[in-house]
Amino acid sequence: MNKGIFYGIGAYMLWGFFPIYWKLLHHVPALELLSHRIVWSYLLLVAVILATRKGADFRKLLSARIVGIYLIAALLIGGNWGTYVWGVNAGHIVETSLGYFINPLVSVLLGVVILRENLRPAQWGPILLALIGVVYLTVTFGRLPWIALTLAFTFGFYGLVKKLAPLSSLYGVALETGVLFIPALVFLSFAHVNKTGAFLRTGTGADLLMIGAGVVTTIPLVMFASAAKRIPLTIIGILQYLAPTIQFLIGVFVYREPFDQTQLIGFSMIWLALLLFWGESYLANRKPRLTLPEIGRILL
């Protein structure tokens, strides 16, 4: 198998099984979990940069403009991480998966509105169908699916900022977590002094899981970055649905979250919209004819 595909599958499968990891820490408040995720991720990334002797190169790239760009990225990804952890531990895994199903279409809309990218006429139909699906779910839920929409839009805007940002993935994530590191560390220190924090108070297993939040955050990010350099964006576009699919199945079949016929109708509209959108994209961009070597390279 192509290494890029292997890395991509690995990254999205790890993201897909995230709910199980965070459920093991359901007794820890979401803001505290978010802070642990930021602190340990930053420390791990700094260790990697120092171990690879890239610290001097990293510092040379820093400027007020770059720090400002990554401050915006940090706030967006911090909001995304916090909403996701809270949603999972509050029993809304199915709704969090909906957010990541919607996210690709949000990214497309941001590309059209902000980057002035053009959509083919046939692509507007699936976007309209997805919008109808969200409206339908809003009506049937009796409320706006704010968790799903928050995840979709924060990650969509995060992707937009990252598209315009100049640093590599390693430096970029290190700077993002670095911007949030001091506030997160202050919060954890305050919680510890006031004896409201879970760290060092709820058992060794929980402490190791909180420290491990940095590892489970950075490993899939590194794998994703490796995949993005090796395989076409169209393949990444297909692989990205592994994570919300796994999350959805975990929510329904492992944690027995409610999923009735009305929700199935709304989800089905969004799933169909995604299939139509990527199917149209594939047909529009595929080569008219593949040679035998090309076929062999795709299969391998």
Measured CA to CA, the distance from residue 44 to residue 83 in angstroms comes to: 23
pLDDT, mean of residues 238-253: 87
Over pLDDT 90: what percentage of the chain? 46
pLDDT confidence tier of residue 121, bands split at 50, 70 and 90: confident
Q: What is the pLDDT of residue 167?
A: 86
Q: What is the pLDDT of residue 295?
A: 40
Measured CA to CA, the distance from residue 215 to residue 218 in angstroms comes to: 5
Longest dimension (CA), the chain: 67
Least reliable range by pLDDT among 14-28, 29-43, 227-241 = 227-241
The model's pLDDT over 189-210, given as tens digits with 9 standing for 90+, comes to: 999 999 899 998 989 999 999 9
pLDDT confidence tier of residue 31, bands split at 50, 70 and 90: very high
Q: What is the pLDDT of residue 154?
A: 93
138: buried, middle or exposed (CB in 10 Å: 19+, 13-18, 0-12)?
A: middle
pLDDT, mean of residues 259-268: 88
pTM check: above 0.85: no
Tokens of residue 174, six digits: 């290190």
Q: Is residue 45 pLDDT above 80, yes or no?
A: yes
The model's pLDDT over 164-175, given as tens digits with 9 standing for 90+, comes to: 888 887 888 899
pLDDT confidence tier of residue 288, bands split at 50, 70 and 90: low
Q: Is residue 237 pLDDT above 70, yes or no?
A: no
Q: Is residue 243 pLDDT above 60, yes or no?
A: yes
Instruction: Tell me which DSSP letter residue 66 carries.
Output: H
What lies within 8 Å, CB to CB, of 246 at 6+ separation is 13, 16, 17
Q: Is residue 41 pLDDT above 70, yes or no?
A: yes
More confident residue, 44 or 121: 44
More confident residue, 257 or 123: 257
Helix 30-51 to helix 204-230 angle, to the nearest 10 degrees? 60
Q: Is residue 297 pLDDT above 60, yes or no?
A: no
Residue showing tokens 């199917």: 279
Least reliable range by pLDDT among 131-135, 138-142, 197-201, 214-218 = 138-142
When the pLDDT of each residue in the chain is averaged and rounded to a whole number, the result is 86
Q: What is the pLDDT of residue 235?
A: 67
Q: Is residue 230 pLDDT above 60, yes or no?
A: yes
Measured CA to CA, the distance from residue 216 to residue 298 in angstroms comes to: 30
Q: Is residue 35 pLDDT above 70, yes or no?
A: yes
pLDDT, mean of residues 223-247: 76
Q: What is the pLDDT of residue 233?
A: 57
Amino acid at the residue 122: A
Q: Do 123 and 277 form a contact (C-beta atoms < 8 A)?
A: yes
- Give 57-65 contacts, CB < 8 A, sequence gap 24+: 58/171, 58/174, 61/166, 61/167, 61/171, 62/175
pLDDT confidence tier of residue 292, bands split at 50, 70 and 90: very low
pLDDT, mean of residues 139-167: 86
Domain borders along the chain are: 3-104+145-258
Amino acid at the residue 176: E
Q: What is the pLDDT of residue 299?
A: 39
Tokens of residue 237, six digits: 């576009």
Q: What is the pLDDT of residue 1?
A: 52
Q: What is the pLDDT of residue 284?
A: 76
